[in-house]
Amino acid sequence: MDEPQAWIPTDPRSRPSHDQVVAGLKGVDEGGPELVQLLTPEGERVPDERFDRYAADITAEDLRSLYRDLVLVRRADREGNSLQRQGELGLWVPLLGQEAAQVGSGRALAPEDMCFPSYREHGVAWCRGVDPTELLGIFRGTDHGTWDPVATRFHPYTIVIGNQCLNAAGYAMGQRFESKVGGSVAGVGTADGVAGVGTADGDTGEATICYFGDGATSQGDVHEGFVWAAAYDAPLVFFCQNNQWAISVPAERQTRVPLYQRARGYGFPGVRVDGNDVLACLAVTRWALDECRTGNGPVLIEAFTYRMDSHTTSDDATRYRLADEVELWKLKDPIERVRVHLARRHGVGADFFDAVDAEADALGERMRAFCRAMPQPGPERMFSQVYAEPSPTVERQREEFLAYHASFADQEG
């Protein structure tokens, strides 16, 4: 088969060949009828009849703000990676290559929307007002994240693969039960130089978004979340970042159809978007959120992207994937296409790009200084924040531990 085509079942007993499976999963990574793309890797704006109107209000200034987001998020990620390599963090989960998927979708959210991340959504955290320094304690082992999930509308990171989909489904069902669905939000504006959702057009409804990777789609929790969200028309956007690798297992080993098509089996729409195109991710997520908040039920978005780094800093991606695959995806860099578009189509000069780079350097320095100055909590910290209300049992255990710790210290002294 010289040019394998995606498999279209015509007989329930038929099965796709390996080439057809791969073609169906990866056949649109250069663009095609299934992939939503508004900004090509070469920085050219291309039309899309369905989703253009969800990006029609994006100005050159908005694009500058999105570019700034992408650069600062990448720098924060690289700094976290470096801090782990220097022994300052126990682990880091990189997002290199996935900045557009996270920033585009994160900037589509309205202030009242709720977000449930996994453990790689540093870019979404940025869009929800969570400073990168607030992530460091998780990976240094000193806390579970210091942001307020109620104020930021950004849930704490979830380490158990796929569990956040159940949490998000339950939360979105609550939005439905409490009559918080019905209305739409559209428009991107800027505040303090950062792109964000603009003013609402009429009454607004709430929606929820849940992030997970392609590997998580093999977990039962994700499918249970699909079932519950569909059964109750929950206003929930399932946002799958398909970065092609579930640690060392490629996507074609996990599914026989493109991931977005799985939504059909649960009775709600699915769409595949170029996950390296921040403009397309913004537009598609706006559409999906509008579908949810106006009462049409859940939506699945598959952001087709690539994990340029290892799964975590404890992983070595060179053991299971080829270097030429990584080099191919470097040509689709999400930051470079916005930079080229700004320079060619909007006349943005070197002064702007240099200023953003300088701001990124300052962010990196601030993260390093913050990390190295973080206090080391005592072992009694394990007893804090166990329950919302005081617990006599936990308090007794804490007292016993402190007494034991004190006696142990006396023996060493």
Specify whether 67 is catalytic.
Answer: no
- Tell me, what's the pLDDT at 188? 44
Roughly what angle, to the nearest 10 degrees, separates helices 334-346 and 60-85?
A: 150
Question: Which pLDDT tens digits describe the chain residue by residue (413 residues)?
Answer: 344 455 555 565 666 676 665 565 554 344 346 899 999 999 999 999 999 999 999 999 999 999 999 999 999 999 999 999 999 999 999 999 999 999 999 999 999 999 999 999 999 999 999 999 999 999 999 988 999 999 999 999 999 999 999 999 999 999 999 999 986 655 443 334 334 443 334 357 899 999 999 999 999 999 999 999 999 999 999 999 999 999 999 988 888 889 999 999 999 999 999 999 999 999 999 999 999 999 999 999 999 999 999 999 999 999 999 998 999 999 999 999 999 999 999 999 999 999 999 999 999 999 999 999 999 888 888 888 889 898 999 999 999 998 888 887 666 66
> H or E element: which one contains 64?
helix 60-85
- Would you give the DSSP letter of residue 177? H
Specify whether 307 is catalytic.
Answer: yes
Q: Could you give the dihedral angle defined by the CA atoms of residues 128, 208, 265 and 285, in that order, rounded to the nearest 10 degrees?
A: -50
Whether 280 and 36 have beta carbons less than 8 Å apart is answered as yes
Q: Which listed residue (75, 153, 262, 307) is catalytic?
A: 307
The vertex-219 CA angle with 218 and 225, nearest 5°, equals: 115
Q: Which listed residue (223, 256, 320, 368) is catalytic?
A: 320
Q: pTM for this one?
A: 0.86
Token couple for 97: 């290559």
Token couple for 46: 């291309």
Please tell me the distance from the alpha carbon of residue 281 to that of residue 258, in angstroms, as a whole number: 18
What residues contact residue 6 under an 8 Å CB cut-off, 6+ apart?
A: 20, 23, 24, 27, 258
Specify whether 341 is catalytic.
Answer: no
Q: Which listed residue (68, 75, 122, 311) is catalytic?
A: 311
